[in-house]
């Protein structure tokens, strides 16, 4: 449980009760009862064995059908109906006609502002705000990062290239401080960088003091270690061996065994070594600089992509206005909240999904895991 809380930098302690009430094992058991088997992959991430997200959705839909839940779609909720300080239903519009749905409790689970194609447009914040709730600053989290003008040209050259088994560091170059480091996969894009390690890093970068100012001053750098399994000394030995095997080969043809094809030309340009130079003529200083380039491939970061492209939204309905044991509003009786609409967000790895499951379980009024 401590690991779960530690992976929720956005108000993790608020979720302590709901995480205990409905755990990661509980959701796995629920899916298993519906015939959906899962598997564990790198970083303890859990996926359906079919690798199809729709199979998880279908399992949840089967549960709803068994409970005879009525699902109404294409109805825009305009207002949460309140009477004498208590939520009693919602007012919707369907094909221009007003429809009211009365209820014992109203659960607001509209998501954040990320992925608007799913209908998650941020209107849940407005519904809560109209009832007096505070909405904290909304920011993108788990988001691709943009590069500055100089590095952007490099990223465009490498656009579409996915790197695996690399190590990264995101550094504040003013303080020479590592903001985030990780090992895994990343991707170059026409605006900068993306991929699992970058998305994780963005959540840390978002919370770093004076980050916008530092980004504007080109003081935040991404360093990519292309060969993390090798020390600089071991990498130099490897390069020397490659050079020895074909002494008369030109430098431009010498990196095929060390780099993906798309990266060779940019690496030659950055190394400053004459592309037509024979490898047996490359000096020790040039070789050592090449090694440093392999171990510290640099991209200067400029900012974050728009919130609509983020995996999750940081910020939302203030947790101080929600009862953490029930997810009920402290301002309006009978109004409950679940998921990303609340000011809680986590790092990548399934934690944001677990937040949705756990808070949804509690907001739904379940008393224990057996209900």
CA distances (Å), origin 212, targets 146, 192, 209, 218: 13, 17, 9, 10
- 246 falls in which pLDDT band (50, 70, 90)? confident
- 100 falls in which pLDDT band (50, 70, 90)? very high
Residue 96 has pLDDT above 80, yes or no: yes
Rounded to whole angstroms, the Cα distance separating 220 from 170 reads 7
Residue 370 has pLDDT above 60, yes or no: no
Do residues 171 and 301 make contact, with C-beta atoms less than 8 angstroms apart?
no
| Antiparallel, parallel or unpaired: β 106-108 and 335-337 | parallel
Cβ burial of 121 (10 Å; 0-12, 13-18, 19+) is middle
Rounded to whole angstroms, the Cα distance separating 186 from 169 reads 12
Rounded to whole angstroms, the Cα distance separating 173 from 194 reads 21
Give the H/E segment covering residue 180: strand 177-188
Rounded to whole angstroms, the Cα distance separating 305 from 299 reads 16
What backbone phi and psi angles, to 5 degrees, belong to 304?
-110, 150
| DSSP assigned state of 293 | H
Centroid of chain to Cα 283? 43
Across the range 330-349, mean pLDDT stands at: 95
- 371 falls in which pLDDT band (50, 70, 90)? very low
Do residues 202 and 164 make contact, with C-beta atoms less than 8 angstroms apart?
no
pTM: 0.86
Across the range 41-46, mean pLDDT stands at: 82
Proportion of the chain above pLDDT 90, given as a percent = 86
- 367 falls in which pLDDT band (50, 70, 90)? low
3-state secondary structure of 203: helix
Residue with tokens 């340009």: 269
pLDDT of residue 119: 82
Do residues 226 and 208 make contact, with C-beta atoms less than 8 angstroms apart?
no
3-state secondary structure of 315: coil
Proportion of the chain above pLDDT 70, given as a percent = 99
Do residues 223 and 298 make contact, with C-beta atoms less than 8 angstroms apart?
yes
pLDDT of residue 314: 94
| Range name among 6-10, 149-153, 364-368 with the lowest pLDDT average | 364-368
Rounded to whole angstroms, the Cα distance separating 357 from 66 reads 19
């Amino acid at each position: 449980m401590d690991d779960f809380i530690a992976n929720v930098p956005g108000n993790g302690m608020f979720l302590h009760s709901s995480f205990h009430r409905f755990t990661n094992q509980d959701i796995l058991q629920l899916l298993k009862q519906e015939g959906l088997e899962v598997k564990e992959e790198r970083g303890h991430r859990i996926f359906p064995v079919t690798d199809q997200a729709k199979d998880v959705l279908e399992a949840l839909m089967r549960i709803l059908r068994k409970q005879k839940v009525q699902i109404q779609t294409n109805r825009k909720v305009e207002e949460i109906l309140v009477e004498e300080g208590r939520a009693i239903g919602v007012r919707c519009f369907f094909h221009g006609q007003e429809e009211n749905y009365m209820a014992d409790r109203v659960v607001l689970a509209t998501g954040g502002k990320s992925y608007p194609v799913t209908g998650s447009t941020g209107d849940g914040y407005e519904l809560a705000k109209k009832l007096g709730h505070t909405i904290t600053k909304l920011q993108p989290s788990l988001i691709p990062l943009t590069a500055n003008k100089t590095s952007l040209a490099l990223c465009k050259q490498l656009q579409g290239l996915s790197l695996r088994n690399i190590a990264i560091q995101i550094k504040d170059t003013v303080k020479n401080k590592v903001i985030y480091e990780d090992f895994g996969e990343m991707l170059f894009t026409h605006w900068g960088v993306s991929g699992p390690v970058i998305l994780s890093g963005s959540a840390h970068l978002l919370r770093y003091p004076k980050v916008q100012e530092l980004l504007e001053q080109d003081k935040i750098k991404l360093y990519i270690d292309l060969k993390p399994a090798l020390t600089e000394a071991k990498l130099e030995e490897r390069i020397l061996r490659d050079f020895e095997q074909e002494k008369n080969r030109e430098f431009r043809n010498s990196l095929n065994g060390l780099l993906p094809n798309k990266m060779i030309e940019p690496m030659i340009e950055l190394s400053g070594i004459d592309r037509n130079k024979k490898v047996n003529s490359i000096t020790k200083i040039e070789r050592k600089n090449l090694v440093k380039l392999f171990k510290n491939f640099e991209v200067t970061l400029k900012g974050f992509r728009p919130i609509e492209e983020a995996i999750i939204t940081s910020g939302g309905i203030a947790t101080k206005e929600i009862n953490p044991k029930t997810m009920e509003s402290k301002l309006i009786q009978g109004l409950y909240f679940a998921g990303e609409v609340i000011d809680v967000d986590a790092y990548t790895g399934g934690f944001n999904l677990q937040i949705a499951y756990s808070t949804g379980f509690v907001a739904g009024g379940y008393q224990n895991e057996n209900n």
